[in-house]
């Protein structure tokens, strides 16, 4: 358990943004470990701006930090004396009323994140809105449920929803292949594992998915073999992989839409000039 906990801790100590806005609740840290205490002190006292998605503006913005530690508070003084509730605030530079709040409780050598408003899920889910149309309502809800579970510290359950999305993408390509390719062998398809299924459907799937088909084995291993902490550690990387697949689908749809508009415009010009 200590090793698994350290994996999850280290993920969120990389930056103030990860620590304050992306870390789930109730993850606790041992401040008797100097490297941990130093990093957390830096995050709690940081005055640096961060780039983050503003759920009110509906786009990326720059946020200023308003932190509780005074400039003359030293690390030893903070660790030894400053116990109780800690509040951190980040305000959007476009509108200072747009602010994220994170809350921590410190007691001697123990500190844990005990609250956040808006929640981690509230922060992350709006960024997935652009995938609603390309996924459809059912899979989109599964994506947001997965994000919500991960934000609340549920690792294996979050992987279940990501795997369903992956399987839906494969089944969509499978259905299309069946309808368009007379030579497509359904008997061969149902016999093989997912890796081979993807190869058979490569002409109907985003290039990124075909090249990174091992994503499915990671998702399956997460459900059947990995610990909660490991799934939480890997969730973001796997989610980004799936989003890359969806981005490629969106790009293809947009490219086809623009090509259709261009063809129509050219035909209109030809009709006018040949009249």
Q: What are the boundaries of each domain within the chain? A: 9-118, 128-261
pLDDT at 75: 78
Asked whether residue 105 carries a pLDDT value surpassing 90, the answer given is yes
Cα dist from 248 to 34, 242, 244, 254, whole Å: 44, 10, 6, 10
Asked whether residue 9 carries a pLDDT value surpassing 60, the answer given is no
Asked whether residue 234 carries a pLDDT value surpassing 90, the answer given is no
What does the alpha-carbon distance between residue 120 and residue 110 come to, in Å, rounded to a whole number?
A: 22
pLDDT at 72: 61
Share of the chain above pLDDT 90, in %: 40
Asked whether residue 1 carries a pLDDT value surpassing 50, the answer given is no
Using DSSP, state whether 143 is helix, strand or coil: helix
Which of 10-19, 71-80, 242-251 has the lowest average pLDDT?
A: 71-80
Half-sphere exposure of 106 (CA within 13 A, CB side): 20
Residue-wise pLDDT for 123-138, tens only, equals 888 888 899 999 999 9
pLDDT at 275: 62
Asked whether residue 11 carries a pLDDT value surpassing 80, the answer given is no
Q: How many helices (H) and strands (E) does the chain have?
A: 13, 6
Instruction: Find where tokens 């990124």 sit.
Output: 208
Calculate ∠ Cα 25-152-19, nearest 5°.
45
Contacts (Cβ under 8 Å, ≥6 apart) of 116? 21, 25, 100, 101, 102, 103
Asked whether residue 8 carries a pLDDT value surpassing 70, the answer given is no
Closest by alpha carbon to 167, among 131, 130, 125, 209? 209
Using DSSP, state whether 115 is helix, strand or coil: strand
Contact between 103 and 85 (Cβ < 8 Å)? yes
The band of 140, judged by pLDDT with boundaries at 50, 70 and 90, is very high
Using DSSP, state whether 51 is helix, strand or coil: strand
**DSSP character at residue 122:** H
Contact between 94 and 57 (Cβ < 8 Å)? yes
Contact between 242 and 165 (Cβ < 8 Å)? yes
What does the alpha-carbon distance between residue 217 and residue 221 come to, in Å, rounded to a whole number?
A: 6
pLDDT at 19: 92
Beta-sheet strand order (sheet of 28-30): 28-30, 110-117, 99-107, 84-92, 59-66, 50-54
pLDDT at 66: 85
| Cα dihedral 247, 13, 23, 21 in deg (nearest 10) | -70
Q: Enumerate long-range contacts of 157-162, CB under 8 Å, 24 or more apart.
A: 158/231, 158/232, 158/235, 159/219, 159/222, 159/223, 159/226, 159/231, 159/235, 159/238, 160/223, 162/219, 162/235, 162/238, 162/239, 162/242
Which of 11-20, 44-53, 159-168, 229-238 has the lowest average pLDDT?
A: 229-238
pLDDT at 4: 46
Residue-wise pLDDT for 57-73, tens only, equals 988 999 999 877 665 66
Which pTM value belongs to this model?
Answer: 0.71
């Amino acid at each position: 358990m200590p090793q698994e906990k350290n994996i999850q801790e280290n993920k969120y100590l990389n930056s103030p943004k990860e620590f304050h806005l992306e870390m789930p609740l109730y993850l606790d840290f041992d401040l008797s470990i100097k490297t941990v205490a130093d990093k957390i002190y830096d995050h709690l006292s940081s005055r640096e701006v961060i780039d983050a998605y503003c759920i009110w503006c509906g786009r990326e913005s720059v946020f200023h930090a308003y932190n509780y530690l005074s400039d003359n508070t030293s690390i030893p003084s903070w660790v030894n004396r400053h116990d109780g509730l800690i509040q951190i605030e980040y305000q959007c530079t476009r509108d200072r009323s747009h602010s994220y709040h994170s809350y921590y409780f410190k007691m001697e050598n123990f500190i844990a994140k005990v609250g956040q408003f808006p929640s981690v899920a509230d922060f992350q889910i709006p960024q997935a809105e652009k995938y609603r149309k390309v996924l459809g309502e059912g899979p989109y809800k599964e994506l947001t449920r997965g994000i919500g579970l991960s934000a609340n510290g549920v690792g294996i359950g979050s992987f279940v929803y990501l795997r369903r999305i992956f399987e839906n993408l494969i089944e969509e390509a499978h259905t299309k292949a069946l309808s368009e390719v007379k030579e497509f062998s359904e008997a061969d398809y149902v016999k093989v594992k997912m890796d081979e299924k993807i190869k058979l459907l490569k002409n109907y799937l985003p290039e990124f998915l075909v090249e990174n088909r091992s994503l499915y084995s990671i998702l399956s291993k997460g459900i059947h073999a990995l610990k909660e902490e490991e799934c939480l550690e890997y969730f973001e990387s796997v989610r980004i992989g799936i989003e890359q697949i969806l981005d490629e689908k969106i790009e293809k749809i947009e490219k086809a839409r623009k090509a259709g508009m261009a063809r129509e415009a050219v035909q209109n010009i030809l009709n006018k000039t040949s009249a």
